[in-house]
Amino acid sequence: MTLPDALSEALSFAGRLADAGRPVALEHFRSGAAADNKHAAGFDPVTAADRGVEAVIRELLAEHRPRDGVIGEEGAPSPSRSGLTWVIDPIDGTRAFIAGLPTWTTLIALQDETGPLISVIDQPFTGERFLGAANRGAWLEHRGDRRPLSVREGVSGISDAILSTTDPGLFEGREADAFSGIAVAAKVRRYGLDAYAYAALALGGVDLVVESGLKAWDAAALIPVVTGAGGVVTSWSGGPCHGGGQVVAAATPALHAEALTHLASASA
Amino acid sequence: MTLPDALSEALSFAGRLADAGRPVALEHFRSGAAADNKHAAGFDPVTAADRGVEAVIRELLAEHRPRDGVIGEEGAPSPSRSGLTWVIDPIDGTRAFIAGLPTWTTLIALQDETGPLISVIDQPFTGERFLGAANRGAWLEHRGDRRPLSVREGVSGISDAILSTTDPGLFEGREADAFSGIAVAAKVRRYGLDAYAYAALALGGVDLVVESGLKAWDAAALIPVVTGAGGVVTSWSGGPCHGGGQVVAAATPALHAEALTHLASASA
């Protein structure tokens, strides 16, 4: 599909931002020194990679999009004078990063007052770049190839679904009960993927992702990729979720509705 | 280090076997059709990729190593007339494969009556190939680069460890209690990785892997990569584990000993 020029340009610029972050992140990935520093100081998901990637992205934004706002995990927010704001998580999935696993990502989204418009979920080690334009389209760029993404439309319900959440142990109380009701019913469960789970949903692999406690920079970039690939993503009560908190993403509207019947009672 | 000629040749040939499997596996990875067939017939971890990869590997073995035995997940065992047997798991981590995640692997090991001598843990999508010669060395080949692998020697104990198991829900009874004692004490937990967890241990990322219910073809290829990188891998009672069953792999002898204090009471 053809995107409006402003969205197309923004998506292309988001790719440039991700390009700039890649070598910085990869310099620290699987480097013994980074892991040991991390451990020496006690476990802390803010790595040198986190700070370095956000710094190069903020530099490019300051130079080329000075009127846009910036919200990032690592720095102070900078206000928008254009109505547009970039939302950055330099390394999402810091635990995967430290463990040497290829499922951490760099998240970049551009949003206005209605929510995220375009986004990138970038995996520098595999070279996968998931791009989304909300409700319009999503694509995977991988080593010179680019193809449209589409959720698995044939999923018949939770009992047929591949479910993912980052850590089932993160839920407590009513949230834990609600998640458990879905987890026992699902066909397959996959854990520990952070934003990569939503990319896998857009690929047609994972069918349902249920999480809580997300920050705005964890959540914003998920939305254009999921809805662009034909999926549904909302809060546990069915409302907007780009501010973070409780998030449920599903391959189809029917699967999403079925998940909400479990989650609504525990919605914040 | 320099390997004896026979091991060096075997490791090189294992790489040729993995080379032959890669395009077959990748043809089915993230192909909508493969996933839908799987789901239409109910969940079954034997995919077209499983059968296809094992077939091309068995063909090469029959042609070039006709006197060696073969044990594979998909076909009948063929007896050894050389004292050597190849142990093959064409797609380890079938759930990751179906979910579109880059952490499934092809496992190839060569063993004699003492256990596995050399092995390959191959990830075709990322292009990572982990090679091991038991107690002698381990290497990562990745996109033209080759480097030696080494576990994280600085891990000070379970409370400092990144722990992995494929699914904590697979443990029952005494096994569940024993695993839980380690899981609550560990610094970080990562799930769903199958053999990739042992490769991550050899990389210095993951520090401890605890599993049970492995088959011989799940287990054999783990051992040369882990011990070649300086790690320790045994059954939960500290004995050999290449036949499968309960497996514990640790970055250091001290961490291994600490894990055994939790696991020994639940050892089979």
Does B167 lie in the same domain as B93?
A: no
| B120: three-class secondary structure by DSSP | strand
B168 pLDDT more than 90: no
Residue B104 lies in a domain: yes
Looking at B148, B177, B200, the residue that finishes a domain is B148
> Residues of chain A whose C-beta is under 8 A from some C-beta in B?
30, 32, 35-36, 39, 43, 95-96, 98-103, 125-126, 152, 154-155, 160, 162, 164, 167, 169, 187-193, 196, 200, 203-206
The reply to whether B164 and B227 lie within a common domain is yes
Give the tens place of pLDDT for each residue, B61-87. 999 999 999 999 888 999 999 999 999
Task: Say yes or no for a CB contact (<8 Å) between A103 and B98.
Answer: no
Nearest partner of A126 among A29, A224, A204, judged by Cα: A29
Name the average pLDDT for chain B: 93
Query: Rounded CA gap, B51 and B47, in Å?
Result: 7
Q: Which residues pair with A121 in a beta bridge?
A: A107, A130
Residue A54 lies in a domain: yes
A35 lies in the same domain as A130: yes
For the question of an ipTM over 0.85, the answer is yes
Q: What does the angle CA A136 – CA A123 – CA B184 come to, to the nearest 5 degrees?
A: 115
Residue B237 and residue B267 in contact, taking contact as beta carbons nearer than 8 Å: yes
pLDDT band at A2 (very low <50, low <70, confident <90, very high): confident
pLDDT band at A18 (very low <50, low <70, confident <90, very high): very high
Co-location of A26 and A44 in the same domain? yes
| Contact present, A164 and A96 (Cβ < 8 Å) | no
Boundary residue ending a domain (A148, A183, A208): A148
Between A and B, how many CB-CB pairs are < 8 A? 103
Which residue range is the domain that position B187 belongs to?
Answer: 158-266
Distance (Å, whole) CA B155 – CA B30: 36
For residue A236, what is the domain's CATH number?
Answer: 3.40.190.80
Q: How far apart are CA A215 and CA A2, in angstroms?
A: 31
- pLDDT-derived band at A33 (thresholds 50, 70, 90) equals very low
H or E element: which one contains A121?
strand A115-123
Higher pLDDT, B40 or B161: B161
* Number of domain units in chain A: 2
**Alpha-carbon separation of residue A202 from A207, A228, A230 (angstroms):** 9, 8, 8
pLDDT digits (tens, 9 = 90+) for B133-146: 999 999 999 999 99
Among A30, A35, A190, the residue with its CB nearest the CB of B192 is A190
Of the residues B36, B39, B143, B159, the best mutation for testing chain A's interface (the one with the most A CB atoms within 10 Å of its CB) is: B39
- Residues B209-234 have a mean pLDDT of 97
Inspect the interface and report whether the beta carbons of B98 and A191 lie closer than 8 Å: no
Residue A92: per-residue pLDDT: 96
Q: How many whole angstroms separate alpha carbon A241 and alpha carbon A233?
A: 8
Q: What is the CATH number of the domain that holds A32?
A: 3.30.540.10
Listed residues A130, A148, A166: the one ending a domain:
A148
Nearest residue to B166 via CA among B128, B206, B226: B206
Q: Is residue B75 part of a domain?
A: yes
pLDDT in tens, A121-158: 999 999 999 999 999 999 999 999 999 999 999 999 99
Chain segment A66-105, per-residue pLDDT in tens: 999 999 988 899 999 999 999 999 999 999 999 999 999 9
**Residue closest to A3 by CA, chosen among A107, A142, A148:** A148
Contacts of A95 in chain B (CB under 8 A): 162, 188, 190
| pLDDT confidence of residue B167 | 87
Same domain, residue pair B142 and B11: yes
Task: Look at residue B184 and tell me whether its pLDDT is greater than 60.
Answer: yes
What's the Cα-to-Cα distance from A228 to each of A12, A122, A130, A220, B259, rounded to whole Å? Answer: 16, 16, 11, 13, 46
Q: Which helix (H) or strand (E) holds A118?
A: strand A115-123
User: Residue A1 has what pLDDT?
Assistant: 65
In the predicted model, is pLDDT for residue A23 greater than 80?
A: yes
